[in-house]
Amino acid sequence: GEAGATYVFFSDGATSRGDWHEGVNLASVMKLPLVLICNNNMYAYSTPLEKQMACANVADRGPAYGIPAEIVDGNDVFAVRDAVERARQHACAGKGPYLVECKTFRMTGHAAHDGAHYVPKHLFEEWGKKDPISRLEARMRERGWADQRAIEQLHAEVLREGKTLRVDPEEVRAGETVLVRPGARIPLDGVVLEGSSWVDTAAVTGEPVPREAAPGSQVLGGTVNGLGLLSVRVVREYGESTAARIL
């Protein structure tokens, strides 16, 4: 058959776990065709890199397991592509795993509830100037691949698309928590849960959650197309979005 490789994505924090080291060691011993891609965003939740590992780079861990590793500018689309292609060729040649460390930065908190107050503000300013999207747009204009008008149209399409949060009904189960954004529409076994502009959560009847609704409150939906009742509990509010639990 045709030679192929498996791509494994993880962040810097994962490389400080025992199971990561066990897995990489076994993959190296067995010469498995793995392309290991580390998204090194400098923080493992709130722990900065220098407080979770003594080596300067994640790539420094590779030689310990007998696998090649390289560091690449994770905010340069083409540099990442070229590095990953080198890794793919290595893995497909039967030489075993190859580690690519993409140096980048997490411009938000670890999750929606995390304000990232522990990150020095100057880091956001420094890395904001290295925005990979802005850099790619500049490259596209320089090479004549797209003009500013085409780029702006693309941004508009993305914003329109972002107003709808599509979730596979098969992936939503009773008791799970889903993030409902303003104007979002989440299909649940044929029922559509729509986000209101106020609390970002609404019952399946399409009626928005009452203004007095607060975390811990519960809203019941009516019968929709004979599918019965669906209740939504507002469990937590995160400013721009709300976590809603399907009961």
Catalytically active residues, by annotation: 106, 110, 118
Query: In 3-state terms, what secondary structure has residue 153?
Result: helix
Question: In this structure, how many other beta carbons lie within 10 angstroms of the beta carbon of residue 20?
Answer: 17
Q: Choose among 208, 168, 205, 206: nearest CA to 189.
A: 168
Cα(228)–Cα(224) distance, rounded to whole angstroms?
6
Q: Whole-angstrom Cα distance, residue 105 to residue 121?
A: 13
Distance of CA 1 to the CA centre of its chain: 33
Continuous segment of H or E residues that includes residue 160: helix 148-162
d(CA 87, CA 95): 10
